[in-house]
Amino acid sequence: MKRFLAVIGLIISLLLILFVVAEYSQISFLTDPTPWFDKNSPGTALLAILLLSADVVVPVPSSVMMTVNGALFGIWLGALISLLGGLGAALIGFTLGRGMTPLVQRWVSQQEWEQARRFLARWGSIGIIITRPIPILAETMSIAAGTSLSCRKVLWASFWGLLPIALLYSLSGAMATDLKTSFASFFLSLTMAGIFWWIGKRYFQK
């Protein structure tokens, strides 16, 4: 699967380039969108969903956004808003992956393509869950899964990967916690994602 892995590497490289360009451009809306989130309103909620959805191609600070959602809307509504935004990003990633599938098929051999499809069919859903808290890898996995998995599977796996993250960051925001708590939430979400991976490996891959 060397050529298919090269495609994965290319996706990661492109996403990293976008991240670096955004950082060096110092676009305030992307580096720190919090000034735009100064009130609890439907418009603010919609903006948060749209920004989190765009995170698959635009380097939005999603952890900050999810924390702000909790601060503005409370634990449950804030988590729901973050969850919807994350699912929007997963859907965009799936769409990009599905759109690039013909190009990938023409570039890799039939044997490599079948190996990649079998690998993603077996491990793709679990991969989405455990990479969901990790920037760049989460977006890459959504795009890669779009080449082989169904939209339903991608969204379902994304839901379980996003749920602990959305809840933990929303809780951090609602409690007005500091940066250390946000980091703790990040690592706790990784732990929870690992638990979901173990459950999936034990029960869903039989």
pLDDT digit string, tens, across residues 99-137: 988 888 888 888 888 888 888 888 888 888 888 888 888
Instruction: Report if residue 23 sits inside a domain.
Output: no
* Angle, alpha carbons 127-132-135 (nearest 5°): 115
Q: Can you tell me the distance from the alpha carbon of 94 to that of 125, in angstroms, rounded to the nearest whole number?
A: 12
Q: Is 182:67 a contact under the CB 8 Å cutoff?
A: yes
Instruction: Report if residue 3 sits inside a domain.
Output: no
Instruction: Report if residue 1 sits inside a domain.
Output: no
Sorted by sequence, the CB contacts under 8 Å of residue 187 that are 6+ apart come out as none
Cα torsion through 12, 108, 149, 135, rounded to 10 = 0
Instruction: Report if residue 35 sits inside a domain.
Output: no
Reduce the DSSP state of residue 82 to 3 states and report it.
Answer: helix
pLDDT for position 179: 46
**At how many degrees (to 10) do helices 110-131 and 137-145 cross?**
140
Cα torsion through 132, 158, 23, 51, rounded to 10 = -150
Instruction: Report if residue 195 sits inside a domain.
Output: yes
Q: Is 70:79 a contact under the CB 8 Å cutoff?
A: yes
191 or 141: which leads in pLDDT: 141
pLDDT for position 67: 85
Instruction: Report if residue 5 sits inside a domain.
Output: no
Tally of domains in the chain? 1
| Residue 58 structure tokens | 């635009």
Q: Which class for 22: exposed (0-12), middle (13-18), buried (19 or more C-beta within 10 A)?
A: middle
Q: Can you tell me the distance from the alpha carbon of 161 to that of 202, in angstroms, rounded to the nearest whole number?
A: 17
Prediction pTM value: 0.79
Instruction: Report if residue 47 sits inside a domain.
Output: yes
Whether residue 199 is predicted with pLDDT greater than 70 in this model: the reply is no
Domain boundaries, position 176: 40-204
**DSSP state letters, 17-58:** HHHHHHHHHT-HHHH--GGG--S-SHHHHHHHHHHHHHTTTS
Local confidence band at 2 (pLDDT 50, 70, 90 cut-offs): confident
Whether residue 196 is predicted with pLDDT greater than 90 in this model: the reply is no
Average pLDDT over the chain reads 80
pLDDT in tens, 43-81: 888 988 998 998 888 878 788 888 888 888 888 999 999
pLDDT for position 89: 94
Instruction: Report if residue 16 sits inside a domain.
Output: no
